Amino acid sequence: MLKRFRVPGRLALKLKEHGVSVAAVLRKAGLPRDLFEQTRVLVSTEELFAIWHAIEAVSADPLIGIKLGVETKTERFHPMAIAALSTQNLLTATEHLARYKKLTAPEGIVNKLSKEEFRVAFRWLLAVDAEPQVLTDYCFSWMISLAGSGSVCRSCVEY
């Protein structure tokens, strides 16, 4: 199992767009000032959680996680998300995402379909502490953005 997460460089751009100081976030998280200037930003689970705790502490906006997760421009989607958009429904899309995460990060995506509801959960496989609430908000708003794009949302879950 991989032990590092890849943090997208566009997170720094989105923080700036929402008026959150990247320097203050990195300082609060105890991470290098040039973290987002690296070609590939790789962090441990502990460092990932520190980033999100810092975002929550630095931002005055209680909805910052949701706002950071929203993406309306599919051209800004990660290739994994674009591949998920090509699936036949939301269930299949989350299964594709789960396989990708299993291969690339110490994270799991679990889904469950019943006649009444569709559940998605994110698991941080090497976590010692509970995940930051703002990270949970981010993940779910990102999933809603994905579901709202293209055919995934239009066909939704087929029974």
Whether the predicted pLDDT of 33 surpasses 80: yes
Strand partners, 119: 112
Q: Based on the number of CB atoms within 10 Å of its own CB, is 72 exposed (0-12), middle (13-18) or buried (19 or more)?
A: exposed
- Give me the chain's average pLDDT, please: 88
Read off the pLDDT of each residue in 19-34 and give the average, rounded to a whole number: 97
Confidence of residue 154 (pLDDT cuts 50, 70, 90): very low
More confident residue, 113 or 74: 113
Look at the block and give the residue holding tokens 């070609």.
Answer: 39
Whether the predicted pLDDT of 67 surpasses 90: yes
Give the DSSP H/E element, type plus range, for residue 73.
none
Domain 5-155: assigned CATH number: 3.90.1520.10
Please report, as a single letter, which amino acid is at residue 129. D
Domain assignments of the chain as residue spans, ordered by start = 5-155
Whole-prediction pTM: 0.86
Read off the pLDDT of each residue in 141-159 and give the average, rounded to a whole number: 62
Whether the predicted pLDDT of 103 surpasses 80: yes
Confidence of residue 159 (pLDDT cuts 50, 70, 90): very low
Distance CA 112, CA 59 (A): 33
Cα–Cα–Cα angle for 133, 98, 15, nearest 5°?
40
C-beta of residue 30 within 8 angstroms of C-beta of residue 50: yes
As given in the structure block, the two tokens for residue 15 are 């923080």
